[in-house]
Chain A
Amino acid sequence: MAGVSLQAISKSFGDNTILKGIDVQAHSGEFMVIVGPSGCGKSTLLRIIAGLETPDGGEVIIDGERKNDTDPSKREVAMVFQNYALYPTMTVYENLAFSQRIRKRSKDEIDKRVMESAEMLKIDELLDRKPKELSGGQRQRVALGRALVRKPKVFLFDEPLSNLDAKLRQEMRLEIKKLHTQLNNTMIYVTHDQTEAMTMADRICLMNNGIIEQIGTPEELYNKPANTFVSTFIGMPPINLIDGEVCTENGSAFFISDGVRINLDKIKNIELFKDLDKHVIMGIRPENLHDNYFAEIKDPENTIKCTVDLVENLGSVALVHSHSGDAHLSATLTTEKIIHPGDSLDLIVDVNSLHFFHQETKERIKL
């Protein structure tokens, strides 16, 4: 098994600086997901690991060896491309066998490896077909198989599921995850989909604009987002962010903004707020807002009186968009009580699940 370590990687195309000093390590056997908005440089980073792109600065270390100057063909890294890139003139079998034929392995060995991978991915029925005779999902499997046959040290995936429909995407997500549990290889997986990141990753590396915003387990990114960008990117539906102030009245601390007033006394490290610039951004995830109607213990100090703007029914829950003063709040609520636009709604805030960020730097305030 082999880890991948990137140290101070930078890359520009012309005047465009795409990567601005990236430091990240995927440990041996880890499933690392690199996630970020479109154009943030994820693919470029992956291609640098693969050797298809040369970094302007920094070190690419695979399995403890510096590989900056190693040709892609010698890196023992396999990559699954977004558009599959199957060889159109070859059958599925030949596609899978290609890398092994290049390495001049014996016919029996090739046959064994191809059959092994094909069975693992349930494509053994398709071996005689050409790529154009396959469905999108089947092509995706063949592309995976082609990587699998090689038994590489590291697997790279560049948005492998983005051309599939929602149902198939979920199926393949599980399949790839299962593959990882079986093989226990280092896998680096690029996506712009936070759901994929959250569900698949051992650790997530969240990128934005050529820098890393945060690296951590899905739980860490969800529970302790390093800044407002991370808090909005991770979590679906996205977090509510409210600009406001923290102030103390009669020995109690409050968060106050137009339309929202919350008593913060339940937060243990309330002392921290005293030293801060008073302007903060408060984050509340939609799933941490509850309808007062169903609450067993009422908490009038931490209830926000809202007016409903829009209701999106998601089946088991409804996403309710509402506002109070200037603050917009979306909440995931049960569909037991039917809510209409224009209704008034009392939302209880779970104080211990609040996030606070500096208004200027957007960095997390550690509580």
Chain B
Amino acid sequence: MSKKIETLFIFSFLVLFTLATLYPALNIIGISLRTDDAFQTRSLALWTAESSFRSYFTLFLETDFLTWMKNSFLVSFVVTLTGVVLASTSGYALSRFNFMGRRAVLSSLLMTQMFPATMLLLPFFILLAKLKLINSYLGLIIIYSSTALPFCIWQMKGYYDTIPAALEEAARMDGCSRFSAFIKVILPVSSPALVITALFSFMASWSEYVVAAIVLQDPELYTLPLGLKSFQASLATQWGLYAAGAVVVSIPVTILFISLSRFLVSGLTVGSVKG
């Protein structure tokens, strides 16, 4: 009996949170399909008599949305790649080698996480201005990478720490150099951590607005969040368009999460060493 009550309790809890999560998403989809800019409606209907895909057509055909999307993909891709390459290698060094300054590096990486990114805006801006990197993707990529990396490095290091050193040693006895043991044996085992690193780096750049707003000034260079915001700038915000943009922006992230979720299973090392 108490088991049933427990289950009931758990389920109502879960349902409540699911609703809280789903409502805004459904609402946005509903608005994007409406043509009347009635974003304050309380109606939960996704499809009404006036609904159409007009906003989506407008979005793709009459705005710079596709350019922004291309820009965002470019930036996010480079940031993800940089994040994965640098975090996987430096995390490995921090996990396996005992070099001078190792502890200092680890704690200073952690320390950077204590400052909110907005606090660093001004120093970042000055830095980029001096380096003449304002209005360039390189500047944006550097900032995104440097803010995402500390977490990713720690994350990778933590994962490598759980992999027994005997695994690389076995690979080295089998004929691998240090580097190829890392590439051929350790990296495949670390795929769950690599996926998290990649996701985190991607997310850090895909939906970032504040930093992009100060670095990028030329509308041609806008990333998606900046572009979306520009819909709002005109006198009357076109909510339908805005919502359609928001829906399209979230699609790649959703796909990414769903397709990578199977890699997120941990415990891949189980079986290599005693149970």
Contact = CB atoms under 8 A, between A and B. Distances in A.
Contacts of A359: none
A45 B267 CA distance: 32
A88 B189 contact: yes
Contact of A81 (B169, B189, B191, B268): B169
Contacts of A89: 188-189, 191, 268
Interface string A141-169: 00000100010000000000001000000
A25 interface: no
A73 B185 contact: no
Contacts of B271: 86, 88, 130-134, 139
Max chain A Cβ within 10 angstroms of own Cβ: one of B268, B269, B273: B273
Contacts of A78: 173
Given A85-B164, A102-B180, A131 B272 contact: yes
A181 B16 CA distance: 69
Residue among B167, B170, B184 with the most chain A CB within 10 A?
B170
A116 B127 CA distance: 63
B176 A73 contact: yes
Given A71-B177, A73-B177, A85 B172 contact: no
B164 A99 contact: no
Interface residues of A, number: 31
B174 A146 contact: yes
A238 interface: no
A103 B188 CA distance: 20
Interface residues of B, number: 26
Given A83-B164, A88-B272, A131-B271, A52 B169 contact: yes
A197 interface: no
B166 A102 contact: no
Interface string B163-197: 01011011111111100100011001101000000
A84 interface: yes
A242 to B, nearest CB: 41
Nearest to A84: B273
Contacts of B275: 136
A82 B271 CA distance: 13
A150 B174 contact: yes
A77 interface: yes
A314 B176 CA distance: 49
Nearest to A89: B188
Interface in B194-211: none
B173 A72 contact: yes
Interface of B: 164, 166-167, 169-177, 180, 184-185, 188-189, 191, 268-275
21 contacts: A50-B169, A71-B172, A71-B177, A72-B172, A73-B176, A79-B170, A81-B166, A83-B164, A83-B274, A85-B164, A85-B166, A85-B169, A87-B185, A98-B171, A99-B174, A99-B175, A133-B271, A134-B271, A136-B274, A139-B271, A150-B174
Q: Which 6 A-B pairs have the closest CB atoms?
A: A132-B271, A99-B174, A85-B166, A88-B272, A83-B273, A131-B271
Given A98-B171, A103-B175, 17 more contacts: A52-B173, A72-B169, A72-B172, A73-B173, A73-B174, A77-B173, A81-B170, A84-B273, A85-B273, A86-B170, A88-B269, A89-B191, A130-B271, A132-B271, A132-B272, A136-B275, A146-B170
